[in-house]
Amino acid sequence: MLLGDGMDRRSLAHEILSQLPLAQQTAAWGTLGTIKPYLGFDVESDVQHHTEAIVGNGTDHGAILDVLTNRTSAQRQQTTRVFQALTKQDLLKSMEAALSGDLERVIVGLLKPPAQYDAHELRAAMQGMGTDEDALTEILSTRSNQQLREILAFYQQDFKADPEKDIASETSGWFKEILLALATGKRERDTGIIDYALIQQDAEALADPGASSEGAGERTWISIFTQRSPEHLSRVFGQYRKSHGLEVEETICKRFRGDGQAAMPALASVCRNTPRYFAEKLHNAVKGPGTDDKVLISRSETDLLSVRSEFKKRHGKSLYSCLQVETRGDYQAVLLALCRAEDL
């Protein structure tokens, strides 16, 4: 299965890359992610590297994670396509066969396109004995409209099912209404223009008890929380506190019950400070029986540097040092590689 240096193989690799959209061939450095484009990226070299790492006497775990945690998702997708073309094998399936346990889960997550990874996590959150309300809320509330469209498309493609119908059948009450509203992907984009009149209007709408019809008040809250931009909502929360002497979270506890009572404060937290929201998720995870590697995977090219900063600011110790204490072996190595560095 090892690859030669023939010109036909190089031509095939270059042909595949030339057919990819420009956005998939390059990635911007101007993000707050820990994973940046690898400037020395050579797709054929990576294919050869992975081939050698998964054949022979024992899988070279270190070699695999060293390459994959130093490539962006777009670069990994290029490698996956060329690996398939040159070896006639599926790289993801090859990794699943070669690896196991926590390391396999992370490596497989890194090899999937982000939207497909989220689609599979969405599906997993609705399988088994009960739904994972926290995972459903996280994915649907922290992804952009375009990302949500891609996630739902992968869900339909991979599972031959309607994600919104699955959400409706697996959840209930106000929580179901919140998730379905988020899944429509109708959140407004921040224009940079502060609409003071709309801020006041939304703050007053949240204060309205909705006595005109049963559930009207709750639906107003859901509509505002799932459609307005995070920047606008942050200002609405401030106006609400100024006008009514309450944080929105205090009113949520009185107005909502069940899973909806947990989901709405999570939406507020996302809108106030998304990196802080993820920092708290990671802190709660490392304090418990496991580590939330999904956050490290999904935010590694987005804002993991900001998440690390919030983690250190709020808890007085770095995410990196916590991972060193709470994890072991190859699993620790891959998580530390995604986290990238200590925050002093």
- Which tens digits make up the pLDDT trace of 264-297? 999 999 999 999 999 999 999 987 666 789 999 9
The yes-or-no verdict on residue 22 having pLDDT over 70 is no
Binning pLDDT at 50, 70 and 90, where does residue 1 land?
very low
Q: Give the predicted TM-score (pTM) of the model.
A: 0.89
Say which residue, 214 or 204, is predicted with more confidence.
204
The yes-or-no verdict on residue 196 having pLDDT over 80 is yes
Question: Quick check: 332 and 323 in contact, CB under 8 A?
Answer: yes
What is the model's pLDDT at position 26?
38
- The angle subtended at Cα 104 by Cα 99 and Cα 106, nearest 5°, is 150
- The angle subtended at Cα 197 by Cα 193 and Cα 202, nearest 5°, is 100
Percent of the chain with pLDDT over 70: 89
Average pLDDT, integer, range 106-130 = 95
Give the model confidence (pLDDT) of 207-250 as tens digits: 986 655 668 889 999 999 999 999 999 999 999 999 999 999 99
Q: Is 87 exposed, middle or buried (0-12, 13-18, 19+ CB in 10 A)?
A: middle
- The angle subtended at Cα 214 by Cα 211 and Cα 217, nearest 5°, is 60
